[in-house]
Amino acid sequence: MKLTVPDQVKTITLSDGTVATIRRPRGRDLVRAQEVAGTDNKFKFTCAMLAHVTQLSGEPCVMEDIMELWASDIDLLSREAAADFLSSSAPSSPSSSSGASNTPIS
């Protein structure tokens, strides 16, 4: 069964000014991340999962791109990926602490 719910994305400004667009992860993203990272390292899994759902400056990225980010930016992306995308039905203005905003895609 393929879900017909459109992807939801957030736009986040990282500490160096890079704009990251992250979409709400689906189960298939977790499976692909585990295939890429293997089962022995939770950090690699997190980076692989983020790479599947994140674009940096509008471009797709790979696990190694995520691993090159500052740790605080990886933490921010990870928290945003785990956050409830449905907590707000309207786009929110970026907060001063995270620079994240919700934007549902139709």
For residue range 26-56, what is the model confidence (pLDDT) as tens digits? 888 888 999 988 877 889 999 999 999 999 9
What length is written for the chain? 106
pLDDT of residue 89: 43
H-helix or E-strand spanning residue 49 = helix 42-53
First vs last C-alpha separation in the chain: 20
pTM for this entry: 0.72
In the chain, what are the domain boundaries? 8-86
Predicted confidence pLDDT, tens digits, the chain (106 residues): 666 777 788 999 999 999 999 998 888 888 899 998 887 788 999 999 999 999 999 999 999 999 999 999 999 999 988 876 555 444 433 433 445 544 444 3
The answer to whether the Cα torsion of 35, 39, 44, 45 is positive or negative is positive
CB 17 within 8 A of CB 99: no
- Residue 46, classified by CB atoms within 10 Å of its CB into exposed (0-12), middle (13-18) or buried (19+), is buried
